[in-house]
Structure 1
Amino acid sequence: MEMYFVHDKRLGIDVPSLKRDWTRYSADTQSEILMHWEEIKGTIPDRVKELEAQINEKLHDLNEEEDFERSCLINDEISELASCINDLWIWFRTNEELSGKAHR
């Protein structure tokens, strides 16, 4: 499965990296890819919770911070974490698209 997925360091999960159109993979390969994706997909809610916990810590830090420049940096960090969460949910829903293609 390594040839069909790459680790996204920013998101903290492996994401699909298909080199050709989905329909060009055999039904067996599609099934294997989908099964592996289901395993990865199952970790996404926990990863989101981890990032939400980091956001909450940073919000606490932001509430305590008096230095404006440091507050801006913390705000940027919060924005990046929120962006990761958004991207994770997009990937979470990607399986629905792949599954639909596999059943056509």
Structure 2
Amino acid sequence: MEKYFELNERLGIKLPALHKNWEDYTFHTQQSILLEWEKIRGYIPDRIAELEEHINMKQASLSDESDFRKSCQLNTEIAELASIINDLWLWYRTNQDIGGKAHH
């Protein structure tokens, strides 16, 4: 399955990396890809929880921070983590429609 998925460093999960149209894969290969995707999808809520924990820690630091530059940096980091969470939810909702989304 390694050739059908690539690690996305930003999101911290593997994403589909299909190099041909979904219909060009055999039924068996499609089923194997979907099974692997379901395993990855199952991990997404845990990954989101990890990121939310990081956000909470940064927000706690932000509430005690008096240095303006450091506050701006923490806000930027929080925004990036929130963006990652948003993207993870989009992938989570992709469900079994990876055939259409993955090769675009």
TM-score normalized with structure 2 length? 0.91
Q: CA RMSD in A?
A: 1.4
Give 1:98 shift.
3.5
| Number of residue-to-residue matches in the alignment | 100
Give 1:23 shift.
1.1
Q: What's the CA shift string for 1:32-74, capped at 9, x where partnerless?
A: 0000000011000000000000000000011000010110000
Paired position in structure 2 for 1:9 = 9
Paired position in structure 2 for 1:25 = 25
Paired position in structure 2 for 1:79 = 79
Question: How high is the sequence identity, in percent, across the aligned residues?
Answer: 53
Cα distance in structure 1, aligned partners of 2:92 and 2:70: 33
Letter in 1 for 2:90: I
Cα distance in structure 1, aligned partners of 2:42 and 2:86: 16
- Larger relative contact order (CA 8 Å, sep ≥ 6): 2
Which structure 1 segments of 5+ residues have no match?
none
Give 1:99 shift.
7.8
Give 1:84 shift.
0.5
Give 1:94 shift.
1.4
Say if 2:34 and 2:96, in contact at 8 Å, map to a contact too.
Answer: no
TM-score normalized with structure 1 length? 0.91
Give 1:97 shift.
2.1
Cα distance in structure 1, aligned partners of 2:2 and 2:92: 19
Paired position in structure 2 for 1:46 = 46
Which structure 2 segments of 5+ residues have no match?
none
Cα distance in structure 2, aligned partners of 1:22 and 1:80: 32
C-alpha spacing 1:33/1:39, structure 2 compared with 1 (3 Å) = same
Letter in 2 for 1:24: D
